[in-house]
Structure 1
Amino acid sequence: MIYNLIDNKFGRRVVRSILPTYFILLLMSSFSYRYSTILPYNLIESEKNYASNMVASPSKYLDALNPKTFVAKAAVQSKAIESNYLQLFIPFHPEIEANILKNCPNLKYNKTRKGLFLRFLSNQNEVLDLEKVNLNTYLDCLKKQYKVFIDDQEIEASFVLSTINNRQIGFESFLDIKQIGEGSHSLLIKTNQKPSQVYSEIPFWYFPS
């Protein structure tokens, strides 16, 4: 049909009129607008590329998420905090699991639960028992490998496995912040490595009601 259209004189005219329009639309769709020659043009992508308390991207705040926005590395409930606690959510990431498996030899690695598997070919009772043991060890190791700080002061954080409204799976903790003063603060998550590295950094403002 396409060859007939090209061989036909009228068809060649149609093709010649459609092709420029197609290329113009393709060119227009490739444009993006930069509002600054220095500042990052995409706040969501900037959170993936580096941790900084100078960038308050939507992916760092649970109340700013939508069905198309996911937490990149960590998030708290809001930019402005009125309550005396901070809700912290760290999404599951292969980087976190690789770090935990590397530093926690007590975990009993279970290959049947990673990726696709047939349920009827696995012993479900044995798998569930192993998961319970591993979950406690996993969360304890997570607490040791990832330290939480507010303004360079370490905060006790105990995590549970959880999901948020967009069904993203991760680790959740509630931090007591009654002792901090009003105003601007920075939450840091650092890896327990030598030298220590900042995994994520979230700016927030504390004004208790």
Structure 2
Amino acid sequence: MEQNNKKSFAKWLEILQQESWQLELLISGFAIFLLASAYDPLVQLNYDLRLLTMGGSYYGALFLPLQIAVGTWYVLIINLILHVLLRGLWISTIGLRYVSDEIDFDGLKFSPKFDKFLRRKIVSFDNYIERLESLCSIVFGFTFLIIFILISIGFYVMGIILISLAINAVQDYYSSGWLGLLIPILLIYIIGGIIYFFDFMTLGWFKRNKSLSKIYYPIYRFYNFVTLSFIYRPIYYNLIDNRYGKKVVLFLIPYLFIFALFTSMRVEPHGYLPGRRTMQSINNNFYDDTWDRSEFLGEASIGSRYVKNAYIELFLPYFGRSDDEVISEICPDLLPAKKGVFIFNTDFKERLTMDADEALACHAKRFEILVNDSVVTDLKYRFYQHPERKNIGLLTVLDVDYLDRGEYEIKINALQKKRQDGKDTIVMQHNKTIPFWKE
């Protein structure tokens, strides 16, 4: 009975394997549609995460899963489009095979040189269809293999980050004796990961070496768990025991290199355009009405470059990652309203104890605003959350009714923490210049 069930299951798998191309095309087409619609939310997620990381360096670890998601998006969209094209080519060859059967080289009447060359290279049209079908299936499987490899790399790097955070915590709060333990652990972890990756890319070199395999076995088991590679292990070994699949896996490193090169490449057709031209350029991101909504802004902005009335709204963003150090120096008596990374309901009363007027006055001390070279005095600041940029900061309104029609500049100086002569000091430095035109 059990043997009959195994035969039935094997027969069902064989039938499913023959018809798998339909499932592949269905999944590829549906996935391409979803990926195309997921681009804008992914860009928005990148913007929100960058905004979050400006609040504190500890949020930077969230960039790792985002980069994995972006890499997965690119791999899927490129490979699945390639898979659909190859499957389309395969289907077209089957249709052509039904019409014209095998290639009739005798009827083509090529010269002996070309006839001999083409007969040797093409061999059989049926063989060409079979190889094309194998290539399509391997590309489909290879696509998801790359995705899981990216996830594995992410888990490996996360381990490095966690050990590094532990080292930083030990340096800040504990004795240096712990460093003698954690630093070697970090080095061993990194070296072990390199060995594991080398074995992966060489299709099991350490596993085939009888003398080294016993030493490598615990390393393999550890990183097999850390990287979750046991999830896609059957796919990997099923690929490398196939002649075409082995070539595809060996193509992984040049594939990733070409992929990284392609995504980072840009064309610069203007030979006489200098690379450093910030001070000589006007940036659309200076103004809310011309700002590219997908680009993250960490600097001040005004509503428009053209001032049609006598008032200019100037927004000054607040980023805790850099500004908190300045605030703690210039206002040592001002206690922070939030401690730690997260806020819970139990913290609500504690946050209410902070005086808003005192906090606003402290934030305002960080800035010095000039129109051209004249300092603007008696500015009134208010806390403000930008409705589109989502930044929290200060908003002030400049009255420029006294200015004549023409071009002017708003110069923003801000207190910043700098290291000078081996010491951290707070200095007022030029932060940004925003040109505007009064009509």
Q: Considering the TM-score relative to the shorter chain, is it more than 0.5? A: yes
**Does structure 1 residue 104 correspond to structure 2 residue 360?**
no
**Does structure 1 residue 162 correspond to structure 2 residue 384?**
yes
CA separation in 1, counterparts of 2:295 and 2:402?
Answer: 32
Match of 1:144 in 2: 365
Change (3 A) 1:125 1:21: closer
Secondary structure class of the residue paired with 2:294:
coil
4+ runs of 1 displaced by more than 4 Å? 13-23, 192-195
Structure 2 stretches of 5 or more lacking a match? 1-234, 417-425
Displacement of 1:56 in angstroms is: 2.4
Structure 1 stretches of 5 or more lacking a match? 47-51
What is the letter of the counterpart of residue 38 of structure 1?
P
CA separation in 1, counterparts of 2:250 and 2:333?
Answer: 68
Match of 1:198 in 2: 430
Change (3 A) 1:125 1:26: closer
CA separation in 1, counterparts of 2:275 and 2:317?
Answer: 26
Q: Which of 1 and 2 has higher RCO (CA within 8 Å, sep 6+)?
A: 1
Contact 1:146–1:191 (Cα < 8 Å) also in 2: yes
Secondary structure class of the residue paired with 1:201:
strand
Change (3 A) 1:185 1:19: same
**Does structure 1 residue 186 correspond to structure 2 residue 422?**
no
Cα deviation, 1:160-199, whole Å, max 9, x if unaligned, reads 1111122221110111011112221110112368864212
Match of 1:93 in 2: 319
Match of 1:83 in 2: 309
Match of 1:49 in 2: none
Change (3 A) 1:25 1:176: same
Contact 2:411–2:430 (Cα < 8 Å) also in 1: yes
Contact 1:60–1:71 (Cα < 8 Å) also in 2: no
Moved more, 98-107 or 30-39: 30-39
Residue correspondences, number:
191
CA separation in 1, counterparts of 2:364 and 2:397?
Answer: 13
TM-score, normalization: structure 2? 0.39
Match of 2:274 in 1: 38
Structure (1 or 2) with the greater strand fraction: 1
CA separation in 1, counterparts of 2:396 and 2:336?
Answer: 25
Structure (1 or 2) with the greater helix fraction: 2
Contact 1:162–1:172 (Cα < 8 Å) also in 2: yes
Secondary structure class of the residue paired with 2:412:
strand
CA separation in 2, counterparts of 1:152 and 1:27?
Answer: 46
CA separation in 1, counterparts of 2:267 and 2:428?
Answer: 37
Change (3 A) 1:92 1:11: same
Match of 2:395 in 1: 172
Change (3 A) 1:119 1:74: same
Residue number among 290, 293, 316 corresponding to 1:67 in the alignment: 293
Contact 2:285–2:292 (Cα < 8 Å) also in 1: no
Displacement of 1:84 in angstroms is: 0.9
How do 1:47-62 and structure 2 match up within 5 A?
52=279, 54-62=280-288
TM-score, normalization: structure 1? 0.76
